Chains A and B, each alone.
Chain A
Amino acid sequence: MELLVASAVGILTAAGVYLILRRRSFPVILGLSLLTYAVNVFLFATGRLVTGAPPILNKYEEVAYTDPLPQALVLTAIVISFGMTAVVVMIALGAYLSSRDDATAMPVEADGAEEEA
């Protein structure tokens, strides 16, 4: 199980990084999303992997629980990463609509001036 999770984190990270290094904004956003999964799973896994022991207290008997703290951290991280993705998507969309170009490199200045003219 540990190997499955670790390799999944590795593959998600690699795919995310590769896509972030692309030259158009949409693949970069995809890459960021994949990297977000990787990071969230990574953080979650720092609490170690436990099955069938959710951190919901059992009033009636003594049972073992998984580590609740990484879960709380990751929960907010998931919501915040939605906010981040939304902002990035919006910036990418605004940039594309304004210049009709979704390249992530800044246009060379002379070209920009030409376009303006």
Chain B
Amino acid sequence: MSLFLIAALPFIGAVFPALLIRAGRNAAASAAGLTTLLAFIGLMLHIPAVFRGETVFAAVDWLPALGLNAHFFLDGLGFLFAAMILGIGLLIILYARYYLSREDPMGQFYSYLLLFQGAMVGIVLSDNILLLLVFWELTSLSSFLLIGYWKHLPEGRQGARMALTVTGSGGLAMIAGMLMLGHIAGSYDLSVILQNKDTIQSSDLYLPALILILLGAFTKSAQFPFHFWLPHAMAAPTPVSAYLHSATMVKAGLFLMARLWPVLAGTPEWFYIVATTGLVTMLLGAVIALFKDDLKALLAFSTVSHLGLITMLLGFGTKIAAVAAVFHIINHATFKAALFMTAGIVDHEAGTRDIKRLGGLRHLMPVTFTIGAVAALSMAGIPPLNGFLSKEMMLEETSHTIWNGSHLLVPALATVAALFSAAYSFRFIAHVFLGQKREDYPAHPHDPNTGMWIGPAFLVLLVVLIGLASAKIAGPMVATAAGAVIGGGELPYYSLKLWHGLTPALCMSVAAVIGGLVLLALHAPLQRTWNALPRPEAKTIFEALIGAFTRLSQFVTEGLHNGVLTRYAAIMITFTVAISYFAYRGGTLGAETRQMQDPGALPVVGWFALVVATLFIVAKHRNRLLSLVLIGVVGLVVSMSFNYLSAPDLALTQISVEVVTIILMLLALNFMPKETPVETPALTRLRDGAIAVVAGLGAGGLIYALLMRDFAFPTISDFHLANSYKGGGGTNVVNVILVDFRGYDTFGEIIVLGIAAMVIFALTEAVLGSKVRAYLLNRKPDLPQAGDAHPLMMVVATRVMMPLALMVAAYIFFRGHNLPGGGFIAGLVAAIAIIMQYMASGFAWATERQRYPYHAIIGSGVLIAAATGMGAWFNGKPFLTSDFGYLHWPPLEEFEWATAALFDLGVFLAVVGAVLLALESLSRFAWQPGISSEHAMDINPARDEAAKTGTEG
């Protein structure tokens, strides 16, 4: 089966449980189990190749320019981990089916679980480290969902958040580290990176990259001082703990260290950082575990300790230690998953997992007892179980490890850790299962149904079999995986057997077991002493730290973002000016290459009008009506200058937009205060003025500098000029660019415009639906109203002008392709023609005669544009490719047809609809009862005359 499919199957499968839960919990569980099984079988099909020592590849280039490619590969190490993830995943799926209660949303659970599983499989199969990082972050996110699965429990939420914070921030560090690694190696593909040991280790970036990558691995694998999240993650349902903390999540860090072992290991930095951290973690975890009364907490700290052990072995940097590490990874996964599931069974059946309230369960739960005892003995390192074998190898390795000149330090501390490890394993058996049967269990303990114990039983069988016949059962797997870790070359000599003779390791083992028994006997007094000792509480420290960060970010946010628009604007403008200045200082200004053109009289007059109007707006902005009039002057001058500077299309657009905008603002001003009060102190105004002047100088200076120089790069405009007629069939290059060359942009623009109009409509609905409506209905106008709202002259004039204006719009539209004009301008002109009717004859009168809703006009415009674009598909061309030709129907002149004109029709309709919808929405604010009249004109002498004669007659 392709590696793509193996990696994708869990993700595909994640969809089913959430959907199938309606068909029952068995359906959800079976769907999850079947997809996992399928992926597992797919993986197993690669056994022959992998065990021959081959590497299976599957590659698709994704974003080659970024070095991000979907490259997967499967070697011994990846196979081992993928098999553990999928195999133990299967057992967990089965176990969870019986563990979760009826109230728990099981569909969600399996979906999260498969999502997590997919992310894990992705990590171990990725050949590309960027892809690996994506999956790495996915495990952090999906484990967050799993740990916080019981949303109603505060511990669950806190634990999930803590896990996400710690592993997520480690992941961020790792991204930086991986980027450095890829930079050094010149490739982001692991298969290339792994060949470049010497380049990487001699690079200056080796140490920073190493530290950053290790941060990621250590946080994920709960190494000291990041170990604290793991015990808090125990608030998750036990199947989650069993899965995450035996075979998957926490092993991801180990996997990464093993994966990169060939290129990162073997240096003193690696040894001192990794081995020391591992040693400390192993010792600390083991000691704390002994004093935990919560079964899962005990197992959690023992997991921390065992992860430390494996980390230490990898840290030694010798090939034989790497073999031991691989072997212990396998063994730990088997016995720890079984132990977690046992703890879950005890919790489930006895109603508590507090060791103090348990004991004597061996009679009540014989099956569970057998499973738990064998697994715990393996953890303690008792022969002939598999834990003994790998622990023995570990002790053997420590015995020839020299730490900073000391021959004794590492073996001694390792023995102490092993001793505590034996002690807590014995305690797990003795204080839970042995001893007197009690009467006060919270529930009636009994063995669970088969579905729940079959999983751990299978694992325990492995524990025993690997212990008894390790060379046969685990031997090939260890050899293949270890071969992949050390990255080619001969494996060192080792033998997986129980009896190696009277070695130092055996003596250390014996000492540990005896010491463990002694510690267990002394447990009660030791526990009292332990409880009396002051200890730093990781959770408190973590929360204080998070609290400090929260306060800091609140302080910064509230400082910058305090709800005052003026402040945001000031900060943004100042910052923009500052970085522009920075950019200006960083570059060089070329020499002026253009001559200043002589302006002549007209532009000077226009400039003068514009400047005076602008200054007056600033000075008189408190008089709002006056400033609107002055804005009109500015707009007019801008349109004129467009016209003067060879841009007739712009001039037409600007002047028609100007009309619409001013009407819109006048409508709004009708409801707003007509004066702006003086409220800013003079000093603030001075400061704002300074910011404004600097911004103005910057913008003016920049454009002046541009205007006095020629293009620095060849312009693409020549292409447009050359191809406008040949390729687009139009002589108005601006229009051809809009509807043809850059048609996609225009298509986006009309959609944006339509959305803006819809937003305005929606806002109007919302505002008019609130209590504002009552205010508007009762509102008394604050300015004297015209006696005649709809004067005769205006009504008649606009009626006459309407067809003329529409004719102009049509003319502008049709000539647009070859002469100034086009859909945008024609749309604006048509909209103005209709707005005139609203203004002259009144809102009510105009609305009655409105045949199509404006929303529909916008929509049809966008659809016509889209359909025109899609039409190109039928000719086998890309979206929005235009076509044109010439028709000659006598007696008409020859004329041109172009699909671009149809597209322009869409633009036209969208613009008409958007402008009218916006203005109509605003006008609805003015509606009051009695405002509508059946007559178009309020005062009509003819009507009055007729009424008079009517009453008289």
Residues of A at the B interface (CB closer than 8 Å) are 1-24, 26-30, 33-34, 37-38, 40-42, 44-59, 65-69, 71-72, 74-76, 78-87, 89-94, 96-98, 100, 102, 104-106
Q: Which of A41, A47, A54 is packed against the most chain B CB atoms within 10 Å?
A: A54
**Would A76 and B645 count as touching, CB distance under 8 A?**
no
Q: Which of A50, A57, A87 is packed against the most chain B CB atoms within 10 Å?
A: A57
Which A residues touch B812, using CB under 8 A? none
Q: Closest B residue to A27 by CB, please name it.
A: B621
**Would B689 and A49 count as touching, CB distance under 8 A?**
no
Proximity string of chain B (689-716) to chain A, C-beta cutoff 8 Å, 1 when within and 0 when not: 1011101111111111011101000011
**Would B566 and A26 count as touching, CB distance under 8 A?**
no
**Would A48 and B671 count as touching, CB distance under 8 A?**
no
A9 to B657, CA, bound (A): 19
Chain B residues touching A, range: 35 or more
Q: Which of B699, B725, B772 is packed against the most chain A CB atoms within 10 Å?
A: B699
**Would A22 and B566 count as touching, CB distance under 8 A?**
yes
Q: Closest A residue to B608 by CB, please name it.
A: A4
A4 to B601, CA, bound (A): 12
Which A residues touch B654, using CB under 8 A? 40, 78
Which A residues touch B922, using CB under 8 A? 89-90, 93
**Would A57 and B724 count as touching, CB distance under 8 A?**
yes
**Would A19 and B617 count as touching, CB distance under 8 A?**
yes
Give the segment of B181-189, B431-439, B443-451, B760-768 that binds chain A: B760-768
Beyond the given pairs A3-B704, A21-B692, 19 more chain A to chain B contacts, judged by CB atoms under 8 angstroms and listed by A's residue number, are A7-B607, A11-B700, A18-B688, A23-B680, A28-B565, A33-B631, A45-B706, A48-B594, A49-B645, A57-B731, A57-B732, A76-B738, A78-B653, A80-B749, A83-B756, A90-B763, A90-B918, A92-B672, A104-B566
CB distance from A53 to the nearest CB of B (A): 5
Proximity string of chain B (582-606) to chain A, C-beta cutoff 8 Å, 1 when within and 0 when not: 0000000000001011110001100
**Would A47 and B717 count as touching, CB distance under 8 A?**
yes
**Would A26 and B760 count as touching, CB distance under 8 A?**
no
Which B residues touch A52, using CB under 8 A? 646
Give the segment of B110-118, B124-132, B240-248, B633-641 that binds chain A: B633-641
Q: Which of B641, B653, B700 is packed against the most chain A CB atoms within 10 Å?
A: B700
- Please, could you name 20 A-B residue pairs with CB atoms under 8 Å apart, sorted by A? A2-B707, A2-B708, A4-B607, A8-B607, A12-B614, A18-B688, A21-B688, A22-B680, A23-B680, A26-B676, A34-B617, A40-B654, A44-B650, A47-B717, A49-B707, A69-B720, A89-B665, A92-B672, A94-B763, A104-B565
B30 within 8 A of A: no
Which B residues touch A24, using CB under 8 A? 676-677
Q: Closest A residue to B693 by CB, please name it.
A: A14
Proximity string of chain B (759-783) to chain A, C-beta cutoff 8 Å, 1 when within and 0 when not: 1100110110010100110000000
A41 to B644, CA, bound (A): 13
**Would A6 and B650 count as touching, CB distance under 8 A?**
no
Interface residue ranges of B852-901 to A (CB < 8 Å): none
Which B residues touch A85, using CB under 8 A? 661, 664-665
Proximity string of chain B (479-521) to chain A, C-beta cutoff 8 Å, 1 when within and 0 when not: 0000000000000000000000000000000000000000000
**Would B627 and A30 count as touching, CB distance under 8 A?**
yes
B610 within 8 A of A: yes
Q: Closest A residue to B917 by CB, please name it.
A: A86
CB distance from A19 to the nearest CB of B (A): 6
**Would B824 and A41 count as touching, CB distance under 8 A?**
no
Which A residues touch B715, using CB under 8 A? 67, 69
Which B residues touch A102, using CB under 8 A? 672-673
B818 within 8 A of A: yes
A96 to B624, CA, bound (A): 15
Proximity string of chain B (405-422) to chain A, C-beta cutoff 8 Å, 1 when within and 0 when not: 000000000000000000
**Would A26 and B699 count as touching, CB distance under 8 A?**
no
**Would B734 and A82 count as touching, CB distance under 8 A?**
no
B931 within 8 A of A: no
Which A residues touch B627, using CB under 8 A? 27, 30
With A27-B621, A56-B820, A71-B650 in contact, do A15 and B692 touch (Cβ < 8 Å)?
A: yes
